Structure 1
Amino acid sequence: MSATLTATEDCGPIAAHAIGQEAASTVAAILKALADPLRLRMLSAIAADPRGESCVCDLAELANVSQPTVSHHLKVLKEVDVLTAERRGTWVWYRITPGRQQAVTALLESFAPAALARPLDTQSADVVRPDFDARVTRLADELAAEIPELDAQIVRSIVRESYTALASTARVTTALIPLTERFARQRISDLTKQHDTSAPQVLFVCVANAGRSQLAAALVNQISDGRVIARSAGSQPAHVIHPHVRSLIADIEGESAAADRFPKPLTDDAIRAADVVITMGCGDVCPIIPGVRYEDWAVGDPALASDAGVQAIRDDIAARVRTLVDDLTH
């Protein structure tokens, strides 16, 4: 009997699950158009422009090239239906094509930071990661005994969920238990409404919780001087805060406070505990909770910006924060 296997005998109808030829051709054409550094930078600038659109004259400042060259790159993006254009007087204005916003957000907010991150050797990580089960169990029991007003099983579940969420992105495991305790305590506080209800609470949400949302929370704490409580979370948290942002936070809060910050997963309880939820490039990931005010801030991503760009993003967020703090405290 022949040992040769056919697709129908053992491998399954793989082709039936692959992307179709027509769809693949369309997606490939768009990816080909995007495969240019300047085009990606222009797309990012347009997506982050608070006006919802950008002028050719603004985009020409991104690189030392002529305006016709900029127009050529924008035309390429327009031809694959990523951008739309409108002439007003002597200038042409560009915006993300309706219906493409979610795809552009996924590219810039999820794929780009992930592509820049150093790949994790999961095999070696599994080998060196110690077994934390006993320590997590002990922490869960200690918190359950400390908070008798909450069912012990709920506390234990929160602790284990917190550990699992943080461990999924951790590269250095030595701080996992302390971080788990801090995250679990915050979640319990949200659940039991133990935070100071006299001060408005703001929750900043982005994808990785490694850049703009962390920076915004630090700026609120500085500018409000305790009159507003600010926290942050991510729909897909990164393993560490971006170095550019950590340096900015260290300038704002000090080195020790910056070292204590870490990316945290978004939870429904965190949203319910907030008076204002501000999304920053994470799309529609936030559940809509009645009574909570929602805003969306279109600001650039520090992880993708130059040193000058990072400072400009910081100034933009600081201006928005001042307006927010004034609104919440007057």
Structure 2
Amino acid sequence: MTTETNRGALPLTVQDPGCGPRVESHAIGTDAAATVATTLKALADPLRLRMLSFIATARDGEACVCDLADLTDVSQPTVSHHLKVLRDVGVLTSERRGTWVWYSITPGYQAATSTLLESFAPAAVHALGEHPHLTVLEDADAALEHLAAELTATHPGVGADVVLRTVRESYTALARSAKVSAHLLALTDRFARQRLADLARLPQDARPQVLFVCVANAGRSQLAAALVRHYAGDRVVVRSAGSTPAADVHPAVRPELAALGTTDPFPKPLTDDAVRAADVVVTMGCGDVCPVLPGTRYEDWLVGDPALASPAGVAAIRDELDTRVRALLADLLPDLDLTTR
């Protein structure tokens, strides 16, 4: 780019023919950007984010002004003002019942809100104090080929090429969200074994298979799967996955998982193999990301998000999941004794 003077007037900028864009731009459109910016501006307030998080994690997915006034320690008129801002941009919807107005997340924004609170918000919090980066294995190909050779020997019903492809895909999928790679190969081993078991599900294995899916696979879906293992043991094959898996399980959820006997959990991406192998697919706030297959039972559980919940909030979410898991297991395994657990 060069600058010329136009007879003492303002400088003229002349575009160098060699520095123009070489590919068609796929940037967001002007109108769409303005709409998104308006919504983000409405959300860019700490108090509103706390209120949104409270509503998202509420037991019934809704809250009234009095609930939020107690949470924020501000007057009800102030709470009403902030709720109106969020309602005006379409994030919240409201319903008057009796003398109170109840607020809930607009259905079209539920998946986006889950992503904001489960993935973006924790990432932003972590970024304040640390800058994780992924250190790739020095010789990843050799390590993955060695792992594939081991798994081929233990899965004779699956072709060696399928095993190698599954191992490489598993490594790549986990590496996208991994904070460090010290345990990446071990996690790849565990994830690939799960996927191969899903691929080679034996017809004579009559055990129910349940898949729990949320956005980050860092809270709700992990807790639900742990509860199934706690109550049913190996009588049910249970998996969990995320549509956009986080780098790690939420710290507030780890003690609950440890109490249920789940050690070293890690977020995993959703795969078609897991959906095809499942008899029951339970989604929690992840929208329509699961492929719908004939013969598979689907349920959508409206359960709060523990990402930024208080310890009491996490306990309430665990109790809600416990009730739902017990009901599911009573249906899948009528003879299972849930009273002594």
Normalising by the smaller structure, the TM-score range is 0.7 to 0.9
- Quick one: which amino acid aligns to residue 214 of structure 1? Q
In 1, distance between residues paired with 2:204 and 2:256?
27
Structure 1 counterpart SS, 2:145: helix
* Rounded Cα–Cα distance in structure 2 between residues aligned with 1:163 and 1:16: 31
User: Hey, what does 1:298 align to over in structure 2?
Assistant: 302
Alignment map for 1:15-30 (pairs within 5 Å): 18-30=27-39
- One-letter amino acid of the counterpart of residue 332, structure 2: L
Partner Cα distance (1:133, 1:51) in 2: 48
Report the residue type matching 1:73 in the other structure. H
Q: Quick one: distance in 2 between partners of 1:196 and 1:315?
A: 34
Aligned equivalents of 1:42 and 1:59: distance in 2?
6
- Seq. identity, %: 61
User: Which of the two has greater helix per residue?
Assistant: 1
Structure 1 residues 250-304: Cα deviation after superposition (integer angstroms, max 9, x where no partner): 1111xxx412x21111111111111111111111111111111111112222221
8 A contact 1:34–1:40 mirrored in 2? yes
Aligned residue for 1:289?
A: 293
Q: Secondary structure at the match of 1:218?
A: helix
Pair 1:28–1:160, CA change in 2 (3 A): closer
CA distances 1:102-150 after superposition (whole Å, capped 9, x unpaired) = 443443344323323446454xx44x74222212111112222333322
- The reply on whether 1:276 has 2:280 as its aligned counterpart is yes
Among residues 83, 90, 96, which one is paired with 1:87 in the alignment? Answer: 96
| Mapped contact 1:109–1:282 kept (Cα < 8 A) | no
After TM superposition, give the deviation of residue 248 of structure 1 in Å. 1.2
Paired AA for residue 75 in structure 1: K
- Does structure 1 conserve the Cα–Cα contact (< 8 Å) formed by 2:117 and 2:307? no
Structure 2 spans left out of the alignment, 5+ residues = 4-12, 335-341
Kindly provide the CA deviation profile for residues 221-245 of structure 1, in whole angstroms up to 9, marking residues without a partner as x: 1123443332211112222212211
Question: Normalised by the size of structure 1, how large is the TM-score?
Answer: 0.86
Pairing partner for 1:41 from 46, 50, 75:
50
Q: 1:179 to 1:202 in 2, by over 3 A?
A: same
For residues 138 and 22 of structure 1, what CA distance do their matches in structure 2 show?
A: 52
Structure 1 pair 168–16 and aligned structure 2 pair: CA distance change class (3 A): closer
The alpha-carbon deviation at position 56 of structure 1 amounts to 2.6
Residue 203 of structure 2 corresponds to residue 198 of structure 1: no
Distance of aligned partners of 1:65 and 1:224 in 2 relative to their CA distance in 1, 3 Å threshold: farther
Matched, 1:65 2:74: yes
The Cα shift of 1:91 comes to 0.6
Give the corresponding residue for 2:255: 247
Q: Is 1:149–2:154 an aligned residue pair? A: no
What is the match of residue 135 of structure 1? Answer: 143
Aligned partners of 2:111 and 2:285 also within 8 Å: no
CA distance in 1, matches of 2:274, 2:31: 43
In 1: Cα distance, 2:170 partner to 2:204 partner: 23
Q: Does 1 or 2 have the higher relative contact order (CA < 8 Å, sep 6+)?
A: 2
* 2:40 aligned to which of 25, 31, 34: 31
Deviation (angstroms), 1:28? 2.5
SS at match of 2:195: helix
Distance 1:162 1:18, change over 3 A: closer
Residue type at the aligned position of 1:83: L
Question: 2: distance between equivalents of 1:188 and 1:21?
Answer: 45
Instruction: Tell me the distance in 2 between the aligned counterparts of 1:35 and 1:159.
Output: 41
Find the residue that maps to 1:294 and give its secondary structure. strand
Residue 166 (structure 2) pairs with residue 165 (structure 1): no
Counterpart position of 1:233: 241
CA contact (8 A) 2:216 2:246 kept: yes
**1:23–1:234 distance in 2 versus 1, CA, 3 Å:** closer
Q: 1:317 aligns with which of 292, 317, 321?
A: 321
Judge which range, 190-199 or 235-244, deviates more.
190-199
2:190 pairs with one of 179, 182, 190: 182
- Residues 197, 55 of structure 1: CA spacing in aligned structure 2 closer, same or farther, 3 A cutoff? farther
Distance 1:17 1:233 in 2: 30
CA–CA distance in 2 between the matches of 1:7 and 1:278? 56
**d(CA) in 2 for partners of 1:187 and 1:15?**
38
The answer for unaligned runs of 5 or more in structure 1 is none
Alpha-carbon distance change, 250 to 111 in structure 1, aligned in 2, over 3 angstroms: same
Q: Distance in 1 between matches of 2:85 and 2:303?
A: 25
Question: Separation in 1 of the partners of 2:73 and 2:323?
Answer: 29
Is the CA contact 1:144–1:151 (under 8 Å) kept in the aligned structure 2?
A: yes
Change in CA separation of 1:8 and 1:111 when aligned onto 2, cut-off 3 Å: farther
The amino acid of 2:49's aligned partner reads: L
CA RMSD of aligned residues (A): 2.8
**Aligned counterpart, 2:8:** none
User: Would you say the 8 A contact 1:166–1:180 is kept in 2?
Assistant: yes
Aligned-partner Cα distance in 2 for 1:221–1:305: 24
